[in-house]
Structure 1
Amino acid sequence: MTDHAQASRGPLLCCLLLLLLSSPQRATSMYLDDDDDGSFSGGGGPRQRSLSGVVLNSNSSNGTGAGAAFCRLLSLQILDLSNNRLSGELPDCWWNLQALQFMDLSNNSFSGEIPAAKASHNCSLESVHLAGNGFTGVFPPVLEGCNSLATLDIGNNRFFGAIPPWIGAGVPSLRILSLRSNNFTGQIPQELSRLSQLQLLDMANNSLTGSIPVAFGKLASMRDPKIVSTPGSLDGSNYQDRIDIIWKGQELIFQRTIQLLTGIDLSGNSLSQCIPEELTKLEGLRFLNLSRNRLSCGIPTDIGSLKNLEFLDLSSNELAGAIPQSISILSSLSIFNISNNHLSGKIPTGSQMQTLTDPLSYYNNSGLCGFPIAPCANTSLASEETKGEENQDQWLYYCVIAGIVFGFWLWFGVLFTMETWRSAVLLFVDGMQCNIMKKVSHIDQFLSEGNSDQYL
């Protein structure tokens, strides 16, 4: 049994040994101790516990052992085992590393649930990367109380269940939260709006339902990107934090410019109801992806308030109505997709809209017309002009009627309030009446004389 276990760790130990021998800096700070069953130890003794960093990424190492060996490195601050072929479950003792700040296990073949921590666990983590593995279970409860945790990336795993509301208070320093491509269900908790430093929220490709929380309009760092603190090195080292996201349709890694990254990606879920108008208050957003959901109503009228927006994808929803004219003032917008909806009307024109020339961005909206798709029909334009003329005529009629009514009451108002004018008008009317009566009497006398002559 012992021989078989050592044989299974052989490839891992050989690769790590070659790596250490080829790197003078790592060889002087860390070595493998065969007496410790393939575990890592620090230079200077078989039980060295003062090692501050282990970086063994992108080495194609594989194996299932040596995980528990890290538990003795009580001073370990940086642990980077990303982009290897490591497998197995995480040992429970990993959470005993009280000094650990940066942990990157992404893009391996780890599996199982994230182990729970002891009640006395003091979380010092600032950055956790578990993406690209086979982890299962609910959202890791061990992260509750990690007050310094700024980056959490657990995407591309098999986590399931609801997103716990305690994230809003239990992890208050979060700047980056990536839960993409898991099996999370239920509604998006409104408590996430309490994360005042949150600048990136990625929940794409899950099974989330319900509506987009209106409270997202209160996300402070997205409303005012100036208050986003610049992520620096970890505890004075040169090790920089990073995040892997889908940016304008491409998978990119942001590191030095991570402080400039501000956006929301809720695509590929089952979200419904309207897009909250409150989202237009997040003026710091650089990208907004709500595609492949069941969102209805229309595009928010004040979408033009997102003045820093570079990427907007609302495709494959059930949006209806016209495209707001305010979208034409988004001077930084370079990627725009509203295909597969029920939108109608003329596409807004403007300096920036003229640069969005891909007709596929407007595909499958039968009511849309204008550049860069089919021009609007003349009949529709004529009907619009006719409606405009009819509206003008109606306003003219209303003005004439209002003028007559106003003049009528003004005239009678003057007569009732000014005695001199009233007397003059009455005398004038009496004079006119007397003149008319005199003329009528003459005509009547003439007619009566003519009738009397017939009998002569």
Structure 2
Amino acid sequence: MEHLAMLYLSNNYLSGKIHNQWRDLPSLGIIDLSGNNLQGEIPSSICSLPALFWLKLSSNNLSGEISFAFQNCKGLTMLDLGENRFYANIPKYTGKDFLSLSELRIRAKMFSGNIPEQLCSLTHLHILDLALNNLSGSIPSCLGKLGALNSLISYSPYKPSRSDLYGPQMQMETEMELEMEMKKEMELSNNLQGEIPELITDLSTLGTLNLSHNRLTGKIPEKIGSLQRLETLDLSCNHLSDPIPLTMSSMTSLNSLNLSFNNLSGPIPSVNQFLTFNDPSIYEGNPELCGPPLATKCLMPNDRDADGNQHVKTHKDEDENENLGFYLGMALGLAFRCYELMMMNLNRLRRMMGAEHN
């Protein structure tokens, strides 16, 4: 089948290894073997296909290292290897050689190590999904410079239509042919540490940002409100602190929010989009947060002033009592001393009078 252009065998019960005879398919540009039970390593010959640009091998039992298997797949625009059994670090050459990548998904695997800064060179990247691995270290701040995530150029990934798969007779079934615009995503749920880089807020066209289930500290960046196209934000299960930035109230596209299980404090914003977030579970696990939809009420300024004045008054009363006791003690001491001096003088006077009488 030397003129074969697309190979779709997804969501079957195929098992065994991926064969190694790919060199005789010079026209093959799309391979989808996802959702099977394929095992073993990925053959390096798969990258010998000159027309290959779309490769999906997710949801199998593939294993081994990928550092050598994909080094020659330089023409890929989409690579999905998620939910397999690969291990080792993310190859640094991914950001050096795969400069055409628009979509990189390596979710739910056994990758470890740091996120390589070389990924910041993928200027066409619209989707970066590294979630549910064991990646550590900090979030590279240069990810905030990914050009495609700060551009109005939309990303519509190739999706097979009925006419592609079954011929032009299915052309009328438009529901299978509509190519929905893919949202721009960054999914980094791992074991990452440090603070959320301020530069992440420069990704002005980002639609989904998921940094949950890490060990991030510090505060939510104040400029996060500049992510005006963000629809989904998940920062749950971290160690973030300080109040929720008021700039988030301007994120009118936001329809899914999760800030639970952090160390956030202060009142929950109560304007604009926050009025629609009525589920208290998205804020739970932050004992110092207050205000609707939580049951914990925030103290009003007058209440705080009253408490403060009462606090000052209490201390003032205590100070006055201490001063009164001090001065009273001094007065009694002086009175007793004066009485002693008076008695001494009186006795001396009596002795003098007695001596004169004699």
Please give the range of the TM-score, normalised by the shorter of the 2 chains. Answer: 0.7 to 0.9
Whole-Å separation in 1 of the counterparts to 2:66 and 2:93: 11
Counterpart in 2 of 1:324? 245
Percentage of identical aligned residues:
39
Counterpart in 2 of 1:129? 56
Classify the secondary structure of the residue corresponding to 1:360. helix
**Alignment equivalent of 1:264, drawn from 186, 194, 203:** 186
Alignment of 1:397-412 (within 5 A): none
Counterparts in 2 of 1:227 and 1:144: CA distance versus 1, 3 Å: farther
- Aligned partner letter, 2:221: P
> CA contact under 8 A between 2:78 and 2:104: conserved in structure 1?
yes
Whole-Å separation in 1 of the counterparts to 2:21 and 2:200: 42
Counterparts in 2 of 1:364 and 1:380: CA distance versus 1, 3 Å: farther
Alpha-carbon shift at residue 374 of structure 1 (Å)? 2.7
Does 2:92 correspond to 1:92?
Answer: no
Counterpart in 2 of 1:247? none
- Aligned partner letter, 2:209: L
**Alignment equivalent of 2:140, drawn from 195, 208, 213:** 213
TM normalised by structure 1 equals: 0.61
Larger Rg: 1
Counterparts in 2 of 1:118 and 1:305: CA distance versus 1, 3 Å: closer
Whole-Å separation in 1 of the counterparts to 2:23 and 2:88: 23
Does 2:275 correspond to 1:366?
Answer: no
Alpha-carbon shift at residue 300 of structure 1 (Å)? 0.9
> CA contact under 8 A between 2:138 and 2:195: conserved in structure 1?
yes
Classify the secondary structure of the residue corresponding to 2:286. coil
Alpha-carbon shift at residue 299 of structure 1 (Å)? 0.7
> CA contact under 8 A between 1:123 and 1:147: conserved in structure 2?
no
- Count, aligned residues: 297
Alignment of 1:55-454 (within 5 A): 73-117=1-45, 121-139=48-66, 141-224=68-151, 226-228=152-154, 230-231=156-157, 238=164, 256-267=178-189, 269-378=190-299, 382-383=303-304
Alpha-carbon shift at residue 231 of structure 1 (Å)? 3.9
Classify the secondary structure of the residue corresponding to 2:144. helix
RMSD of aligned alpha carbons: 2.5
Whole-Å separation in 2 of the counterparts to 1:293 and 1:187: 13
Counterparts in 2 of 1:205 and 1:258: CA distance versus 1, 3 Å: farther
Classify the secondary structure of the residue corresponding to 1:368. strand
Counterparts in 2 of 1:257 and 1:357: CA distance versus 1, 3 Å: farther
> CA contact under 8 A between 2:204 and 2:227: conserved in structure 1?
yes
TM normalised by structure 2 equals: 0.77
> CA contact under 8 A between 1:145 and 1:171: conserved in structure 2?
no
Whole-Å separation in 1 of the counterparts to 2:140 and 2:259: 21
Alignment of 1:2-17 (within 5 A): none
> CA contact under 8 A between 1:343 and 1:365: conserved in structure 2?
yes
Alpha-carbon shift at residue 385 of structure 1 (Å)? 8.6
> CA contact under 8 A between 1:211 and 1:273: conserved in structure 2?
yes
Alpha-carbon shift at residue 356 of structure 1 (Å)? 0.4
Alpha-carbon shift at residue 196 of structure 1 (Å)? 1.1
Whole-Å separation in 1 of the counterparts to 2:216 and 2:122: 25
Classify the secondary structure of the residue corresponding to 1:260. coil
Classify the secondary structure of the residue corresponding to 1:295. strand
Counterparts in 2 of 1:384 and 1:155: CA distance versus 1, 3 Å: farther
- Render the CA deviation track for 1:355-410: whole Å, top value 9, x for unaligned: 000000000101100111135343776336999xxxxxxxxxxxxxxxxxxxxxxx
> CA contact under 8 A between 2:74 and 2:100: conserved in structure 1?
yes
Alpha-carbon shift at residue 193 of structure 1 (Å)? 1.2
Counterpart in 2 of 1:51? none
> CA contact under 8 A between 1:208 and 1:270: conserved in structure 2?
yes
Whole-Å separation in 1 of the counterparts to 2:25 and 2:284: 53
Alpha-carbon shift at residue 126 of structure 1 (Å)? 1.3
Alpha-carbon shift at residue 95 of structure 1 (Å)? 4.7
Whole-Å separation in 2 of the counterparts to 1:177 and 1:125: 15
Classify the secondary structure of the residue corresponding to 2:62. strand
Alpha-carbon shift at residue 173 of structure 1 (Å)? 1.0
Alpha-carbon shift at residue 350 of structure 1 (Å)? 1.1
Whole-Å separation in 1 of the counterparts to 2:234 and 2:255: 11
Counterparts in 2 of 1:129 and 1:347: CA distance versus 1, 3 Å: same
> Structure 1: where are the runs of 5+ without partners?
1-72, 240-253, 388-456
Whole-Å separation in 1 of the counterparts to 2:258 and 2:159: 37
- Render the CA deviation track for 1:227-256: whole Å, top value 9, x for unaligned: 34544578xx846xxxxxxxxxxxxxx984
> Structure 2: where are the runs of 5+ without partners?
166-175, 309-358
Classify the secondary structure of the residue corresponding to 1:349. coil
> CA contact under 8 A between 1:161 and 1:184: conserved in structure 2?
yes
Whole-Å separation in 2 of the counterparts to 1:350 and 1:118: 53
RCO (CA 8 Å, sep 6+): is it higher in 1 or 2?
2
> CA contact under 8 A between 2:127 and 2:185: conserved in structure 1?
yes
Whole-Å separation in 1 of the counterparts to 2:16 and 2:34: 13
Alpha-carbon shift at residue 257 of structure 1 (Å)? 4.4
Classify the secondary structure of the residue corresponding to 1:308. coil
- Aligned partner letter, 1:164: P
Classify the secondary structure of the residue corresponding to 2:21. helix
> CA contact under 8 A between 1:197 and 1:228: conserved in structure 2?
no
